[in-house]
Amino acid sequence: MRILFKTSYLDDIRLFRHGGNIFWYGLLAVCLLLAPAVLREFYVGELSQVFILAIAGVGLMLLIGYTGLASLGHGAFMGIGAYVNTYLITKGVPFVVSFPVAGLAALAAGVAVALPANRMTGIYLAIATLAFSQIVEQVVVRWESVTRGFQGMPVPPPDLFGHRLATAWEFYYLCLVVLVVVVLGAINLTRSPTGRAMVAIRDSEISAQSLGVNLVRYKTIAFAISAFITGLAGALFAHKLKFISPDAFNIILSIQLLLMVVVGGLGSIHGAIFGAIFVGGLPQAIALMRDYLPGAIAKTPGLEPGLFGLVMILIVLFEPLGIYGRWLKIKAYFDYFPLYRRATFKRQRSYLKTERVR
Amino acid sequence: MSVIEANRGAVVAGAREGAGRPLFEARDISISFGGIRAVDGVTFDVREGEIFAIVGPNGAGKSTIFNLISRIYEPTGGRLIFQGTDITNVPPHMIAGRGIARTFQNIELFEHATVLDNLLIGRHCRSHPNILKELLFTRGVVEEELRNRAAVEEVIDFLALANYREQRISGLPYGVRKVVELARALCAEPKLLLLDEPASGLNTEETEEVAFWIEDINKDLGITVIMIEHDMSLVSAVSNRVLALNNGRTLALGSPSEVQSDPAVIEAYLGGDAE
């Protein structure tokens, strides 16, 4: 068990709280940097996919897990990012410009959604964002002069200062860098007044307001940042897919993102990452498992979605704080061994509130 | 300047300029919900440095008055004056910045955050968030964080909450939550503190403790207090003046003993004379 002896207020706002932290995150960084040298190209691609999901997950986590605003429309923000980025690149705009612009376009859409959404919470907000994603999908389908509708658009590989990132490992590093930057930004935000204001809105709007938090302002900021990050993920996603069409960004993607943050663990950046590993990695794990299963089971159609759903249900039933919650418990078990008590985590409750009467 | 020091300065200044001038005034305020007049033409003033209590039976409109002062409700008539300026049209999130902090009848803490984070959110109206600087966590942000933390630590010392600093609210007992909510309000460096039933749900010893704290906040920090309370022993122990309400109207206004012996108040609590 580690006992921290704090000698300065700085100890509580540091990025790494102790040496162990630095060691483990350093090890993780080394592994991730070396991964393309060791893994087969297919798995490098799959890891990039997990990174992209994680970026979108961090964006959605800030909105759902930290501000307590549900969204069923984040697939649409990814779509906006993807289409804006692709359109600009086909018009000859370099990636270093089109990429942030794609994020900003999603940010603008986020603000547009936030303005009416400020009057709604819980399930009503979820429905409103769902409606928004339908609108975006229809616009993408009909606005053929820009999006080419159902024909779809091929996406050229990203171009960095004249160098085409055509190989899987180059794209892998691009996604990794974006993910690290996004995660650092999110961590900085959550340890600053703005992040605390978001948590305040999540837990009690009325007392947040009476302590000076401008609800409209901070909800709009949460939507804007969340949409921006998700838009960036969308832009990368387009490059990953290499070909985009409206059905890549439909409600299924939105639900997948929502599942990701809930399964990962609401209210933590770790949760978004764990959720992305789960959503991005489980289909591969199941596909690998297929080879070792008896033929009758392995050939059953719908095995993947079935198992996926089963794991989901188990997590929601038995671990309301998701994979990250379980991770904390396992860590506490070893930290306090043999003194761990089950009751330590007894009072937990899930964050997502469907309604709140003030 | 620290929270405690800032307020001590205010006490001295207040004494010099002559304490007792009105800090807050409610002039003829009313609000109706549908056909019900929850508050109906109530007028009172709270003097600087005073502990002012509002009493009355359930549904008398006490908490509604608090919600009117914190601007959660829009009054249908009347004016609210704080430090000589009209705050009737100030948006609700600006009230804390003006120097009015409050607690809630059914504790409204941030359940899933630690005590420390709750108190730091209390500093919100005294910080100057800049989203771009925060994303980069610049030196300026760090320095402001350290200043906020120092201010919060003073309140933690003042209310003896050091043992609970790192704990989540969801794991804290009721009595401690009450104190944390009080601490959170103090972190906003208020001039006027609204306490909505500070002793409800507390046992006798805890109530006595709250009485000491209210007096300390008033005497040592120089904060003017308006409190809603049912416990008449607490009211008469700490408050200078009492406003008694019933059905949204003023029944009596005066010292605790005057109000307690007022026939209208006795009638409201015990029912009319059955002759």
Nearest to A347 among B102, B136, B171 (CB): B171
* pLDDT exceeds cutoff 50 at A156: yes
One-letter amino acid at A183 equals V
Domain containing A125: what range? 42-303
Q: Is residue A35 part of a domain?
A: no
Within A143-214, residue ranges assigned H as helices are 144-147, 168-190, 193-203, 205-210
C-beta atoms of B109 and A197 within 8 A: no
Answer for the pair A254, A262: CB distance below 8 angstroms, yes or no.
no
pLDDT at B82: 92
Closest chain A residue to B184 measured between Cα atoms? A211
- With contacts defined as CB-CB under 8 Å, which chain A residues touch B116? 12
Q: Closest Cα of chain B to A208: distance in Å?
A: 8
User: Pairing relation of β-strands B22-33 and A159-160?
Assistant: unpaired
Mean pLDDT computed over every residue of chain A: 85
Burial of A52 (0-12, 13-18, 19+ CB in 10 A): buried
- How many helices (H) and strands (E) are present in chain A, helices listed first? 15, 4
CATH of domain B3-110+190-270: 3.40.50.300
User: Which whole number is the average pLDDT over B192-213?
Assistant: 89
Closest chain B residue to A187 measured between Cα atoms? B135
C-beta atoms of A214 and B93 within 8 A: yes
C-beta atoms of A196 and B124 within 8 A: yes
Beta carbons within 8 Å of B144's beta carbon, 6+ residues apart: A193, B127, B128
Q: Per residue in B2-49, pLDDT tens?
A: 555 555 544 444 443 445 678 999 999 999 988 888 898 899 999 999
pLDDT at A344: 60
Q: Per residue in A238-291, pLDDT tens?
A: 999 988 888 888 888 898 899 899 888 888 899 999 999 988 888 888 778 777
Answer for the pair B101, B194: CB distance below 8 angstroms, yes or no.
yes
Share of chain B above pLDDT 90, in %: 41
One-letter amino acid at A356 equals R
Q: Is residue A145 part of a domain?
A: yes
- With contacts defined as CB-CB under 8 Å, which chain A residues touch B94? 212
Q: Is residue A317 part of a domain?
A: no
For the question of whether the overall pTM of this predicted structure is more than 0.90, the answer is: no
Q: Is residue A191 part of a domain?
A: yes
Answer for the pair B259, B265: CB distance below 8 angstroms, yes or no.
yes
End-to-end CA distance of chain A: 43
- With contacts defined as CB-CB under 8 Å, which chain A residues touch B135? 185, 188-189
Please give the ipTM for the structure prediction.
Answer: 0.85
* pLDDT exceeds cutoff 90 at A231: yes
Collapsing DSSP states into helix, strand and coil, what is residue B231?
A: coil
Q: Is residue A339 part of a domain?
A: no
Phi-psi region of B227 (alpha: psi -120 to 50; beta: other; left: phi over 0): beta
Q: Per residue in B108-137, pLDDT tens?
A: 899 888 999 999 999 999 888 888 888 888
Chain A / chain B CB contacts < 8 angstroms: 118
Distance, CA of B128 to CA of B10 (rounded, Å): 23
- With contacts defined as CB-CB under 8 Å, which chain B residues touch A344? none
Distance, CA of A333 to CA of A327 (rounded, Å): 10
C-beta atoms of A204 and B72 within 8 A: no
Closest chain B residue to A358 measured between Cα atoms? B72
Mean pLDDT computed over every residue of chain B: 86
Answer for the pair A235, A284: CB distance below 8 angstroms, yes or no.
no
Q: Is residue A4 part of a domain?
A: no
Task: Supply the CATH number for residue A142's domain.
Answer: 1.10.3470
Torsion sign (Cα): A271, A273, A274, A278: positive
pLDDT at B5: 54
DSSP β-bridge partners for residue B30: B77
Q: Nearest-5° angle of CA B42, CA B48, CA B50?
A: 75
**Domain ranges, ordered by start, for chain B:** 3-110+190-270
Beta carbons within 8 Å of B187's beta carbon, 6+ residues apart: B3, B119, B120, B122, B123, B151, B152, B155
Closest chain A residue to B123 measured between Cα atoms? A211
User: Pairing relation of β-strands A153-154 and A243-244?
Assistant: antiparallel
Burial of B161 (0-12, 13-18, 19+ CB in 10 A): buried
Domain count, chain A: 1
